[in-house]
Structure 1
Amino acid sequence: MSGAVFGRDAEIGALSARAATARAGHSGIVVLTGPPGIGKSSLLDAFLDGHSDGTPRGPRGMTALRGTCAEDTATVPYEGVRALLRPLGLVGESAPGHPLLRGSARRALPALMPGTDRPPFAHDADYPVLQGLFSLTVHLAERHPLVLVLDDAHLCDAYTLRWLDFLLRRADGLRLLLILARSTEAPTADNAPWARFAAHPSCTTVPLGPLSPAAVGELALRTYGCPVVPSFAARLADVCGGNPGNAVRLMAELRSAGVRPDRDGARDVAELGGRLIASSVKSLFKREAGWVESVATALAILGHDLPDHVASLAGVSAVQVEDAISVLCRAEVLAPGGTAFTGGGVRAAVLEPLGAAARARLRARAALLLSDAGRPAEEVAGHLLAIPGAPRPWMTSLLADAAATAEDRGAPLDAARYLRRVLDARPEDHALRLRLAGLVAHSDPDAALALLRDTLDRAPDLRTRADAALRYTTVCLAAGQSVAPGHGPVRVLAELRSEAGLRERALALESALLLAGSSARRTTAGPGGEERAPGPRPAGGEADTEAVSALTAALFDNARDTATTHARRAVDAPGPRASWPVLTACTVLALADESAEALTVLNRAVAGPGGPDAGWAGAFALSARGLVLHATGAIPEAIADARAALAAADEASQRLVLPRLVLAAALIDSGEAAGAEDLLTETDPQASAGPVVEQHLRLMARARVRRALGDREGALRLLLACGRAQRETGLANPVFAPWWAEACLLLAAMNRPQDAHAHAEFGAELARRWSTAYALGTAALARGVITPGRAGLGLLGEAVDALAASPARTAHARAGFALGRRLLDQGDRVKARPHLRSAADLAHSCGAVPLALGARRLLIAAGGRMPELTGSREDLLTGAERRVVGLVLDGASNREVAESLCVTLRTVETHLTSAYRKLGVQRRAALATTLRTSGARAPVCGG
């Protein structure tokens, strides 16, 4: 690539497309525009060289004539023509005898002889010259398709521009392309030809905007010849406004000062670049009238705004504003055609001389000005946020309005920014502090807990402290933290129990503390109690309360209808979609076999604000969806979500346990128990603390890992420990961490069915109360694997039928496997085959590789046939997906894959996205590593 051309593929592509059209006989013109230093000349170099990123894209098969206009070109008639034709030897003393100047083309000679003084353009005198130049151009275009490139065309003389206009209006059918590069900063003496060019049907305007930080990083890499950290490139792009010419000049200064393109250098870019820009801006303001600086300052405060607002803040007339903007654009202080500064460094240089106090006064005046003009509250509040110190009363009113607007549009973090400033003015407003904590809880739990601790310690009203205690506890639940005995929420609960009128608040807080792993004792109906109708909603029916009620009804009361009612209330409550209440409610819905409903909500939570790119909130949303996906048998998808959740948590510097537990559980089912064990080892230091949900999921996952690795006795000890822990905490849900079912399957595999009867009856009773297809099917499976004879077969058949009606596809496959194996053990190979085939197919589609391999092995033993399953995750891919992945692994780009397979680029992207999801990866680089996984252990269903 020639010159400083980076990040310009789209522009080069546009030029190449017009060149191809010209080669086909459709003439046209391209006007390339941009401020000085933006890279117009370098872009033309790259285009004419015919390469961009190593791919031929220039005017192949075309004769390219290029000229550049100089400062004095505008005063010399036809100097632009001579600049274009000089490479052909058509200029000067050799011109008269040139073979191309034959016939009518000889009329062009007056334009080709330098130094000829000509009067102002006269049609009669110059028309023959224009005809001669046109004939010459036709001769050239007939020999080869022709591209005429005139750089710095804003300096071009009027005669040349008239000839180009003359040529363009007669060029139909010619294999001709005109490219004129002009600066947007320099006005031309005669704009009429440019207006005609723009109005021509074949004209394409290609504006060159600022380079992206990534493109500036490539430019820096070429300049320095060593790796460039992204922060250095981003700071350089900001200081230089994305202008490559400015970037090259600044990098020369940086290199001479010994600055390297690393993190330390990024700080130096701002300092040195700021000094250079400040010096340039200061010189400009000294040269110009004082009102130019006033307008620049007003624009720096107001940003993009109407001229009358700028005029009011600057204290000048609207006419002066327009003149000042023209001056600032020509000086590259403002971007062309608008009021935006060319970079953050330029804007800072304009504001720097003011000082903090003067800037604050201007901000306050701007806020009042915009408020009086009826501008949106958030726009006004943006100025108030930049004013240091506690806001004045009129400011707090505007900030509160802005917060309400932000909440209404689903932007809790913006609302929190405004309310923090209101809290600066009203530090004793604990209701405000509680509201602010609710806004930040889903994205920054540590900040929320700090706000709530202050309310717990200082709020005089017990109701307010109770609401703060409940929110504090739910934030701990979401963050995977425990509430220490004797801590604020526990003390508040003791106070609430003595107040008869606050019973509902006491119940909600008590339940939340139990879920958080607190030592608080439950005083309400415990496990096995009758299902109760959803009661009144304390604290205004907030989502936190509904989610706690849903989880309590599900886990402690085993009351499905009550749990789903509260869960749907939590989902419907106002607030962010990726918040703990909503995600917890979805988990409860999934426990109740309402997985499709839960996934609909979770998909919105992951895709919307607070999704995968939103740090902690994204990690929690992905973890919740991964948990539900795993329960439905979408194992590769669960792995992908859990890994994405871990990445999001790491990005937010949050160490969450839940995504590790979800990933471990899914890896076990996919045949990667060793990897799961490593993950669980990472969570062990937190095993004795944290929410009840995580403690029991951890015990279940550890038990299943031990079994997958062949340690049956160790697995049984962990399952029984899980059972004891559930009884101690009062958990009574049959399908959340179903230790009893796993224990029955394991004891059957160990030929100890007599030891499993008590566990099976315990689970069956809970399943009858919860009464979902998954619960009833799991209970039938647990009883079936330990029951001999016809009775056992009947129970296993009942399990297959029930689980077929549930969302739990992997559990359905396990039941089919157990039934098929029992039939095979009894010698009924014919009846065993369809169950084993179905189990193998279903397990394979779920990504449960060990179970699929085990079912296929027994199917072959029963006399059935099935293509070999390698145990590789590649088995999960369709034929089309395998072909796409194979080409990608060979190094092909998406476009090359599409061309190779004769399909659209969109089709390739769809297949690749599906393959990523099935393989549990997020990037191309992970494909090869993932597909090296081969083989798997025997199935662990045990039935």
Structure 2
Amino acid sequence: MTLVERAEALAVLRELTDRAVGGRGRAAVMSGAAGTGKTALLGVLAGLATEAGATVLMAGGARAEQNVSLGLLNQLFHDAPRAAGLRSRAPGEAADLAEPCGALLGLAARRPLALLVDDIQWSDQASADCLAYLARRMRQAPILLVVAGGQAPAHATGLCAELSRPPHGTRLRLSSLSADGVRYAAAGLVGPDAARRWSSRWHAWSGGNPLLLNGLLEDHAAAGFDEEPADAMAGGTYGHAVVTVLDKGDPPVAEVGRALAITGDPKDVAELLGIDAGAVARAVHFLTAAGVLAQGRFRHPAAARAVLAVPDGETLERLHHRAAVLAFRGGAAPERVADHLVRADTATEPWAVPLLENAARLALRDGKVERGIAYLRLARRVCTDERRPSLTTLQLVAEWQVNPARCTDLIAELLTAARAGRLHHHDALTLAKALLWLGRTGPAEEVLGRLPSDAVAAGQEFLVELLASRPWIRATYPAFEKLLGKPSRRNGLPAMTVPGVRRVDAATSLVRALERRPVHGAAPVGVDILRGAHVDESSLETIESGLLALVYTDHAEDAAPWCDRFLAEVTGRESPGWHAGLRAIRAEIAFRLGDLTAAADHARAALTLMPPSSWGVAVGGPLATAVQASVAMGDLDEAGRWLDQPVPEGLPGTRSAVLYLQARGRYSLVAGHHELALRDFTRCGELLTGWSFDGAGMVAWRLDLAETHIATGSLDLAVKHIEDELARANGLPRVRGMATRMLAATSAPGHRPTLLREAGNLLQHCGDRYELARTLQALAEAHEALGEFRRMATIGDRARSLADACRIPLGGALLTPAEPLAPAGERPEEPVSRLSDAERRVAALAALGHTNREIADKLFVTLSTVEQHLTKIYRKLNVSRRADLPASLVLSRAAA
């Protein structure tokens, strides 16, 4: 880097050189903080002296040679062969000093001599004495003697005083670069644009120290682009420069720097290192002057990282352990103490294990999962008493958030503890749920069989766990619900906290949705449960159960914003497992709303965040949605690839098994493999009825059978299944809409439009655009069969528009437009917002093809009112007939 803001110093040195070459001895002491350019300036001076005809002899002090007598002087003689015999002779008395100095004066008599010494603070005593002796005798000789360095040691103070005494000597102090100097230096290396953008930060991070600045600039240049945040550009070169500065100081400087990197606070350093506070203050001053510190702290995090990266593991571990003890005694936050213990890789104090556990719980609460896991690993390693199983369970919970596949050893240890009777009831229940996830039903039954169900034996707190877990297991692993005994309530219901009540209510609501018990009002109950929930380990089951209870009661539109909120919460956590679980639910929600692209994207994300091999038996859920979305979009190849993924043997006893079987059956149906489809749909029915899950909100398997029978021409069987489903689908508009559409397919042509319009009304209510598009297609075809071509064109346009918006490849000539459809999102927004609620209800029904009389009957208004509304609607929307009503009205919930 070009010397910047050193013109004045160069002018002084040039003048000294000229006078010395002219026969008038001159001397100078050049000082300044480490890294401020003293060595670089000595190099420039060497060039000036050479150009002036002087012989240049250079030497540099070194900490390792500070006790080597005449070491520095011998370096000067290295390039002076005629003085070689003097290199090993150490002067003691004044008479001895005359000999080497006389040799130097003799060299100067033949040709001007420039003696340049760097790092004078590391000079040996003998060399310093010789140079001081020379300085007093060279005033009439052509000699230039310049020494450079930091704070001189006691034995060199006389030398520095001699060299800086006027008129023959002077002192030069190199200061740090100003903000303008930093900008000028930066422009020369990385260009003016980057200099203008980042120079203020570089000045703040380097303190104007040229060595540190050069490191920052080289790291920036190595990054290769200017849009990167500047703080990310402090890399290896800058770090090396910081370490170089520390090495320039006295031994305490590096120790103090390391201690500051560990504690971050200068007031703790003296006690941490066990050294005098004055020594710490001097080291801090040294590092502050050099631009490494500001107000006792590192100017950039990369500086602290570089200091700690210097190989000295044993010292670092010892300092971290000492820092942990001091932090604990000082009442520091548990996580701060735990961080030091983890870096020390030891925790021998009696308070260490409880503190590590507490810190882990706090870290997990805040979403710092990997940090919490690190605390627990150390705690388990040093714990040898009865607390270890609980620590292992807590680590299992933490690791599960990241990747359940990492938990094999933890589960094995807990299973051993359970068999030995050393596992607390709460920990045993957590273990059992993990075993069920992995499909290991045998060990799960063994663990659950040891749990008490009596409040006296279990305790009130654990009884709440049982009350929440039993319906959750029934809903999630219905084939194994009997593994967990029904809690005894001999002493009445236990007192429950609000989160406990929510857990029980959420699991119970999901079971009720699956069993087809009263579902009216399920949305308000589900929303109320979710309203008070936040994503954490204790509430995850509540959130998942609450969301699915809404989905399986045809309230997917209500579930979507809640799921999005929880996804936003979990995004900032180190919990890819949780994120994957919520993504799988969001995929299912998107599919039930007919947003096929989003469903496929969410399912793919779920299976990427956590690979299929880590999902256990739950993998059936996201795989099912991925298959369903691909089939609905007509991509059977993609659906086949998802079906090629292996699934665990324990899948058939789970809720996700039914979702998977339905998806596989839909693939077979669309692919024309009707027998395979019938087999899968029939198996769905067998599993669900065997579990007493009679609700159709999760899987309407009877409708799947009906659709397959329609495809094979077995209409009587189809009607039987449709009527059976309709009898059970009270309060489920999506299921009733699908059933009514299929019923129309089995009816006489004249009855189909009425049934299909009714199906459309129901599907509008639940927001399923995919099923609505299929219904509109069928309605258009029904009008075509009756010769009602105007209605066919109107409804066909709406079906085509909706199919295009949803990326649904519906077949049929009616859905082949004369002109290419605009991509989704490019169509101008229709001015439907101009309509009042009443007008919107009328318009939506008219858009579905209902006559004015049918609209009046449905909305319980007069025919005249409908006609008046339509007149206003046409005027506001600037259309002249019902066929021109915008397709967006079809999705209006107002008609429901």
Checking the alignment, whether the CA contact within 8 Å between 2:729 and 2:735 is kept in structure 1 is yes
Match of 1:746 in 2: 708
Match of 1:847 in 2: 807
Match of 2:324 in 1: 367
- 1:708 maps to 2:646: no
- 1:515-539 per-position Cα deviation (integer Å, ceiling 9, x unaligned): 554743659999xxxxxxx998699
Match of 2:383 in 1: 425
Match of 1:663 in 2: 626
**Superposition map of 1:100-499 within 5 A:** 179-181=184-186, 241-243=235-237, 288-302=249-263, 305-325=264-284, 338=299, 340=301, 342=303, 344=305, 346-349=307-310, 351-352=312-313, 354=315, 359-389=316-346, 391-423=348-380, 424-425=382-383, 427-429=385-387, 430=389, 433-446=392-405, 451=410, 454-455=413-414, 458=417, 467-475=426-434, 481-484=438-441, 486-489=442-445, 492-493=448-449, 496=452
- 1:725 maps to 2:687: yes
Checking the alignment, whether the CA contact within 8 Å between 1:632 and 1:807 is kept in structure 2 is yes
Checking the alignment, whether the CA contact within 8 Å between 1:449 and 1:472 is kept in structure 2 is no
Checking the alignment, whether the CA contact within 8 Å between 2:445 and 2:483 is kept in structure 1 is no
CA-based RMSD: 5.4
- Fraction of identical pairs, as percent: 22
Checking the alignment, whether the CA contact within 8 Å between 2:780 and 2:796 is kept in structure 1 is yes
Cα distance, 1:621 vs structure 2: 2.7
Aligned length: 636
Match of 1:640 in 2: 601
Q: TM-score, normalised by structure 1?
A: 0.56
Q: Distance in 2 between matches of 1:845 and 1:704?
A: 22
Q: Distance in 1 between matches of 2:239 and 2:330?
A: 40
Q: Distance in 2 between matches of 1:782 and 1:372?
A: 74
Q: Distance in 2 between matches of 1:447 and 1:653?
A: 9
Match of 1:681 in 2: 644
Match of 1:786 in 2: 746
Cα distance, 1:734 vs structure 2: 0.6
Unaligned runs of 5+ in 2: 3-32, 52-111, 113-169, 190-198, 226-231, 487-492, 829-896
Q: Distance in 1 between matches of 2:364 and 2:510?
A: 26
Q: Distance in 2 between matches of 1:866 and 1:432?
A: 68
Match of 2:826 in 1: 878
Match of 1:541 in 2: 500
Counterparts in 2 of 1:535 and 1:397: CA distance versus 1, 3 Å: closer
Cα distance, 1:394 vs structure 2: 2.3
Cα distance, 1:495 vs structure 2: 5.6
Checking the alignment, whether the CA contact within 8 Å between 1:516 and 1:690 is kept in structure 2 is no
Query: Among residues 774, 783, 787, which one is paired with 2:734 in the alignment?
Result: 774
Query: Among residues 814, 836, 861, which one is paired with 1:858 in the alignment?
Result: 814
- Quick check: which has more Rg, 1 or 2? 2
Q: TM-score, normalised by structure 2?
A: 0.59
Checking the alignment, whether the CA contact within 8 Å between 1:611 and 1:621 is kept in structure 2 is no
Checking the alignment, whether the CA contact within 8 Å between 1:472 and 1:489 is kept in structure 2 is no
- 1:177-201 per-position Cα deviation (integer Å, ceiling 9, x unaligned): 98235999xxxxxxxxx99x999xx
Checking the alignment, whether the CA contact within 8 Å between 1:493 and 1:509 is kept in structure 2 is no
Cα distance, 1:806 vs structure 2: 0.9
Match of 1:10 in 2: none
Match of 1:699 in 2: 661
Cα distance, 1:572 vs structure 2: 3.6
Checking the alignment, whether the CA contact within 8 Å between 1:626 and 1:641 is kept in structure 2 is yes
Match of 1:600 in 2: 561
Match of 2:511 in 1: 552
Give SS of 2:185's match.
strand
Q: Which amino acid aligns with 2:654?
A: V
Counterparts in 2 of 1:790 and 1:523: CA distance versus 1, 3 Å: farther
Q: Distance in 1 between matches of 2:484 and 2:750?
A: 43
Checking the alignment, whether the CA contact within 8 Å between 1:514 and 1:521 is kept in structure 2 is yes
Give SS of 1:576's match.
coil
Counterparts in 2 of 1:549 and 1:370: CA distance versus 1, 3 Å: same
Give SS of 2:236's match.
coil
**Superposition map of 1:41-120 within 5 A:** 71-72=43-44
Give SS of 1:243's match.
helix
Cα distance, 1:741 vs structure 2: 1.7
Unaligned runs of 5+ in 1: 4-33, 39-67, 80-114, 116-156, 170-176, 185-193, 220-236, 248-276, 527-533, 881-943
- 1:888-938 per-position Cα deviation (integer Å, ceiling 9, x unaligned): xxxxxxxxxxxxxxxxxxxxxxxxxxxxxxxxxxxxxxxxxxxxxxxxxxx
Query: Among residues 584, 596, 613, which one is paired with 1:623 in the alignment?
Result: 584
Cα distance, 1:780 vs structure 2: 2.5
Checking the alignment, whether the CA contact within 8 Å between 2:664 and 2:677 is kept in structure 1 is yes
Checking the alignment, whether the CA contact within 8 Å between 1:774 and 1:803 is kept in structure 2 is yes
Checking the alignment, whether the CA contact within 8 Å between 2:678 and 2:708 is kept in structure 1 is yes
Counterparts in 2 of 1:738 and 1:835: CA distance versus 1, 3 Å: same
Q: Distance in 2 between matches of 1:183 and 1:75?
A: 22
Checking the alignment, whether the CA contact within 8 Å between 1:307 and 1:318 is kept in structure 2 is no
Counterparts in 2 of 1:506 and 1:597: CA distance versus 1, 3 Å: same
Match of 1:759 in 2: 721
Match of 2:115 in 1: none
Counterparts in 2 of 1:490 and 1:740: CA distance versus 1, 3 Å: farther
Checking the alignment, whether the CA contact within 8 Å between 1:381 and 1:399 is kept in structure 2 is yes
Checking the alignment, whether the CA contact within 8 Å between 2:594 and 2:770 is kept in structure 1 is yes
- 1:605-649 per-position Cα deviation (integer Å, ceiling 9, x unaligned): 433445698543333332222221121111112222222333322
Counterparts in 2 of 1:243 and 1:505: CA distance versus 1, 3 Å: closer
Checking the alignment, whether the CA contact within 8 Å between 1:635 and 1:670 is kept in structure 2 is yes
Q: Which amino acid aligns with 2:237?
A: N
Q: Which amino acid aligns with 2:726?
A: A
Checking the alignment, whether the CA contact within 8 Å between 2:401 and 2:577 is kept in structure 1 is yes
Match of 2:790 in 1: 830
Counterparts in 2 of 1:673 and 1:216: CA distance versus 1, 3 Å: same
- 1:868 maps to 2:820: yes
Q: Which amino acid aligns with 1:781?
A: R
**Superposition map of 1:603-614 within 5 A:** 603-610=564-571, 614=575
Counterparts in 2 of 1:827 and 1:70: CA distance versus 1, 3 Å: farther
Cα distance, 1:392 vs structure 2: 2.6
- 1:819 maps to 2:779: yes
- 1:642-663 per-position Cα deviation (integer Å, ceiling 9, x unaligned): 2233332249976845433322
Match of 2:125 in 1: none
Give SS of 2:184's match.
strand
Q: Which amino acid aligns with 2:599?
A: A
Cα distance, 1:378 vs structure 2: 1.6
Query: Among residues 748, 752, 755, which one is paired with 1:795 in the alignment?
Result: 755
Q: Which amino acid aligns with 2:321?
A: A
Counterparts in 2 of 1:340 and 1:324: CA distance versus 1, 3 Å: farther
Counterparts in 2 of 1:741 and 1:210: CA distance versus 1, 3 Å: farther
Match of 1:52 in 2: none
Q: Distance in 2 between matches of 1:879 and 1:557?
A: 41
Checking the alignment, whether the CA contact within 8 Å between 2:324 and 2:341 is kept in structure 1 is yes
Give SS of 1:661's match.
helix
Cα distance, 1:675 vs structure 2: 1.6
